[in-house]
Amino acid sequence: MRLKSVLSTRFIGNILTKMAVLLGLFSALLFVSEAIFGYNVNSTIMDSALLECSVPVKTDLKNLRFYWQDERKDVLYSFNKGEKMFNHVNDPYLNRVSAFTQDMTKGNISVLVKNLTLGDNGRIFEAYAAVFNGSKTVMQNSKVCHVNLYVTVPYKDLKLAVNTKTSVCTLHDVFPAPEIHWTIHYNHSESLVDSKYVHTKTEQDPENYLYTSSSTLHIPAGPYRAITCLCHNPTSNTTLNATYTLSKGAAVWSLPGWSAGLIVAAAVLLTALMQL
């Protein structure tokens, strides 16, 4: 009886262990099937954007079906059983999207979107795929990739104008709107200018969607060596800057003031001498 009880306990233990293993495998399969590859792509106007995606199986082209669409349900690219389905592609993407047929048997369903416009900025692209083996479905038609696309117009021709008390930094026809900051340089350090000294105005052209920004710095008093305007592009994560060096490390507006005072004093002194 005792041996029987031990064997029964071991048998139940083995069953529970196997059930735990099977449950773990089932959970892993569920996780893989629901996993979606999501990421951001940053590119430049008139350039191309690679939307990368793959399915976890190797297959013959005749057993593969996939398509890409944006958040409006407009289709970028459609492939079914060895053929590209041109009639499924919507107007905004006609003749602009290509895939990598030679790599599809390895599971690569990436596509390349060419001739980017600002109309492509902020688009959300999703890829759906299915894999068959004869009459059997190896992979159900499901979403496998999610891509956010951001398009930029590069910043260039930054203009910096300085007069006696203010400095104006201007950037024309860019996208997205720049993040503008100012720094003031001392002899051996620099610091960010307090926002109370800065006034920035940004406008967007309603026709081409490009931005023009103008930032005015009311230069605070102090023995500064130079001032710098920094225009940061949040899409490309790059910063364009321009620096103006002040005269001999002194506040640039103090020189004209002192000059005017000396001229007036000299005129008064000359008048007095002529009256003697």
Pick 61 or 138 by higher pLDDT.
61
pLDDT at 267 exceeding the cut of 80: no
**Residue 70: Cβ within 10 Å count:** 18
CATH of 33-152, one of 2.40.10.480, 3.90.950.10, 3.50.50.60, 2.60.40.10: 2.60.40.10
Res. 137 pLDDT band, cuts 50 70 90: confident
pLDDT at 139 exceeding the cut of 90: no
> Model confidence over 20-62: pLDDT tens digits?
433 333 333 333 344 677 999 999 999 999 999 999 888 888 8
Kindly indicate whether the domain formed by 159-252 is annotated with CATH number 2.60.40.10. Answer: yes
The identity of residue 37, as a single letter, is F
Distance of alpha carbon 115 from alpha carbon 176, whole angstroms: 18
Q: What is the mean pLDDT of residues 223-233?
A: 92
pLDDT at 18 exceeding the cut of 80: no
pTM comes to 0.71
Residue 20: its pLDDT value, please? 40
Q: DSSP state, 193?
A: P
Distance of alpha carbon 252 from alpha carbon 224, whole angstroms: 9
Task: Report which listed range, 24-38, 87-101, 214-228, is most confident.
Answer: 87-101
pLDDT at 170 exceeding the cut of 70: yes
Q: What is the mean pLDDT of residues 149-162?
A: 95
What one-character-per-residue DSSP string does 77-117 give?
A: EEEETTEE-GGGS-GGGTTTEEE-GGGGGGTB--EEE-S--
In the chain, CATH 2.60.40.10 sits at 33-152, 159-252
